[in-house]
Amino acid sequence: MSSISSSDSRLGLRSPDTVMRLERLGSAFPTRLSFGRSMIRNLIADGVEVRRSRWSMDPQGFGRATYTLELGGHTYSLIAFSNALDDADRSDRVIAEAWDASFALFDGVPESADLDRLEANLPRQEAGRYSEKELVISRSNKSVRLFSHVAQALAKGEQPDVDMVDSIGYLMRTTAVYGNGKFGIADRFVFSDRPGLGGPFAAEMLTVWLIRNFTHDLVEHVAAAMGGENAVRLDPAIKRHLGIGNSTGLGMAPFLVYHPELIHNWLNARETAIARVRAIPSLTPAQAQQLQDLLQRAKTHVSQWHVPDAIQTARLDVLRAELSAMEQPDWQADYPLQRLIDWSLSQSVECQELIAALCLEPFGALLDDLTETMAFNAPKTFNAAQTVAEIKAMIAEHYDWCEGFDLEQQPSQQRFWYVSEAKLEPRLGDRYAEAGADKEQPLDIARQVQWLLDDLAGFDPAAPLLDVLASHPEHRNIAKRIQAAQQRPFAEVRDNLIDQSMRPIDLLRCKLAFFGAVKFDPKSDLWTRITLFQGAPLVDELPMRGDDWWLATKPVLSSA
């Protein structure tokens, strides 16, 4: 069993005042600790084989399919339903009510009755009802452009255009992946002790990787039906480059704020990993070569990352210029990674985070144990006997960042987070222009801290917190957070999340990078598309492809 060791505690971690700012969280890159990566490593370590156990599709690709695998002594199945969808109904938003395909990760092998039950519910997603046998549910929409292009090319016996494959990156994108008991599916505790599924979002990552495989099979099926004998299958290199897309909106942001213990564990693991590689005194020739190759790969990946968003484009332009101008790292020097990371501090935040992620990549033996510290399964506790003086001291130590926001100014609390009655879609409102602030979600952490401090001033320093909360129950939420943050310096996003200038997209990118996402494609400050599992092993090549797929680059076909 691994842990953050006592020797780690002597390492110098980056300060949470640096790490937990929105700009930096919004510049995160996937690392080898990302959940998609660790899930694939678990599959490889367990010798997992995926079997397509059912395939019942009409020539247009509508029907049902199941895939089955054994992991850690348990059997799981992905159940997929593919339906005809009118173009007018194809929306990635939460308020959509129909999708091209719907999925469940099923605990065991489904019987016909299970499939019939799920066929009546899964296509309706949130409007359906589920059982403990369903561990995760999801849905996806086609990238109509790419799916059609790939199907038509394969039907004619040709491979799809590699540039188009690279620029879009996926045949379908998921628009929600639900876990932990939503709509009656299994609670996370049902499987969190099972080998291979214990990590954060491991079951969701397994589901999404299997969905990616389904999209590959689906497009080949449609092409075969169209082209008959002329049709060909996808070149494995192109297939590998076809990840699975995802559209993510505001719903992901409250998750980060509502789970401070979990978020600390994610960031603490990553920061500990960075500190560990900084402490490496010298590299072997093989490690130096690997880092050099990875640096070139990162440059190529970034050169192939193009998005319409003006802000992200400007950041990528700067990043490309910085990487182009950087001097050749001296891999033979003492503490070469510390030198490289220190060099990056004079570059953009995107560059700093990319370099940090790069430096982790070759050191699985040193770092991968940290993935076992990233879940949070312990019960939460609260000590109401703590004194006013003690909670004030905690605020002074861990929440001094809240003092910097002048919440008397209107722009500092311009926005409010809420849930719309329209399919419970999470949204952001303008406090001074829209109704609904009375139903605000408690993401205003800095403001809550300031309000608590104001009210604590009226109490004796020796008074217990429970006396404060008897007359001020509204402070219970922030008091719990303050206690939880005592041993967890990375528990809080250290910015004002209701400020007019706050960009939710920063929160989304942080979480998605921990999933393993690449090619962030912001569509506004409120939502983004991304690609998962680009370059990841296909189901039939887990052992031979291995773990080396960080920041995939456009495939070069041998026949091209």
* Cβ proximity to another protein, 55 vs 451, nearer residue: 451
Give the CA distances from residue 253 to residues 73, 438, 504, 505, 531, in Å, rounded to whole numbers and listed in that order.
Answer: 35, 20, 7, 8, 18
Please report the DSSP string for 272-297 in residue order. HHHHHHHT-----HHHHHHHHHHHHH
Give the CA distances from residue 538 to residues 287, 440, 502, in Å, rounded to whole numbers and listed in that order.
Answer: 26, 44, 39
Report how far residue 489's alpha carbon sits from residue 510's, in angstroms, rounded to the nearest whole number: 17
**What token pair was written down for 69?**
């695998």
Chain Cα centroid distance, residue 432: 33
Smallest separation (angstroms) from another protein to the CB of 245: 10
Residue 333 interacts with another protein (CB under 8 A)? no
Smallest separation (angstroms) from another protein to the CB of 422: 4
Among the listed residues 55, 62, 183, 335, the single contact to another protein using CB under 8 A:
183
Give the CA distances from residue 551 to residues 44, 95, 547, in Å, rounded to whole numbers and listed in that order.
Answer: 19, 32, 12
Which range of residues in 6-14, 27-35, 88-96, 332-340 is near another protein by CB under 8 A? 88-96
Residue 450 interacts with another protein (CB under 8 A)? no
* Cβ proximity to another protein, 67 vs 201, nearer residue: 201
Residue 193 interacts with another protein (CB under 8 A)? no
Among the listed residues 97, 158, 163, 187, the single contact to another protein using CB under 8 A:
187
Site for another protein in 451-470 (CB under 8 A): 464, 466, 469-470
* Cβ proximity to another protein, 318 vs 419, nearer residue: 419
With tokens 């247009």, the residue in question is: 60
Nearest to 238 by CA among 210, 225, 219, 211: 219
Please report the DSSP string for 160-210 in residue order. PPHHHHHHH-EEEEEEEEE-TTGGG---GGGTTTSTTS-STTHHHHHHHHH
Residue 91 interacts with another protein (CB under 8 A)? yes
Site for another protein in 418-437 (CB under 8 A): 418-422, 424-429, 434-436
Smallest separation (angstroms) from another protein to the CB of 504: 8
Smallest separation (angstroms) from another protein to the CB of 475: 7
**What token pair was written down for 265?**
């564990």
Site for another protein in 44-73 (CB under 8 A): none
Amino acid code (one letter) for 332: Q
- Per the DSSP assignment, residues forming a β-bridge with 427 are 418
* Cβ proximity to another protein, 426 vs 535, nearer residue: 426
* Cβ proximity to another protein, 59 vs 184, nearer residue: 184
Report how far residue 200's alpha carbon sits from residue 373's, in angstroms, rounded to the nearest whole number: 10
Secondary structure letter of residue 387 according to DSSP: B
Binding mask 489-528 for another protein (x = CB under 8 A): ---------------x------------------xx-xx-
Smallest separation (angstroms) from another protein to the CB of 515: 18
Report how far residue 293's alpha carbon sits from residue 295's, in angstroms, rounded to the nearest whole number: 5
**How crowded is residue 112: how many other Cβ atoms within 10 Å of its Cβ?**
8
Among the listed residues 18, 53, 83, 131, the single contact to another protein using CB under 8 A:
131
Chain Cα centroid distance, residue 155: 35
Which range of residues in 11-19, 140-148, 512-520, 548-556 is near another protein by CB under 8 A? 140-148
Smallest separation (angstroms) from another protein to the CB of 479: 7
Among the listed residues 17, 56, 120, 145, the single contact to another protein using CB under 8 A:
145
Smallest separation (angstroms) from another protein to the CB of 78: 20
Residue 311 interacts with another protein (CB under 8 A)? no
How many residues in the shown chain lie near another protein by CB under 8 A? 69
**Under 8 Å between Cβ of 99 and 125:** yes
Among the listed residues 144, 321, 345, 393, the single contact to another protein using CB under 8 A:
144
Among the listed residues 197, 402, 479, 507, the single contact to another protein using CB under 8 A:
479
Smallest separation (angstroms) from another protein to the CB of 539: 27
Q: In what order do the strands lie in the sheet with 74-82?
A: 50-57, 63-71, 74-82, 101-107, 134-142, 170-178, 243-248, 528-532, 518-522
Backbone region of residue 435 per phi and psi (left: phi > 0; alpha: psi in -120 to 50; beta: other values)? beta
**Under 8 Å between Cβ of 286 and 303:** no
* Cβ proximity to another protein, 120 vs 144, nearer residue: 144
Residue 480 interacts with another protein (CB under 8 A)? yes
Pairing of strands 243-248, 170-178: parallel
Among the listed residues 477, 486, 487, 501, the single contact to another protein using CB under 8 A:
477
Binding mask 235-274 for another protein (x = CB under 8 A): ------------x-xx------------------------
Report how far residue 75's alpha carbon sits from residue 108's, in angstroms, rounded to the nearest whole number: 5
Nearest to 271 by CA among 542, 518, 28: 28
**What token pair was written down for 294?**
């990875």
* Cβ proximity to another protein, 512 vs 542, nearer residue: 512
Secondary structure letter of residue 495 according to DSSP: S
Residue 380 interacts with another protein (CB under 8 A)? yes
Q: Which residues bind another protein (CB under 8 A)?
A: 87-95, 129, 131-132, 141, 143-145, 180-189, 247, 249-250, 378-382, 384-385, 418-422, 424-429, 434-436, 439, 442, 464, 466, 469-470, 473-480, 504, 523-524, 526-527
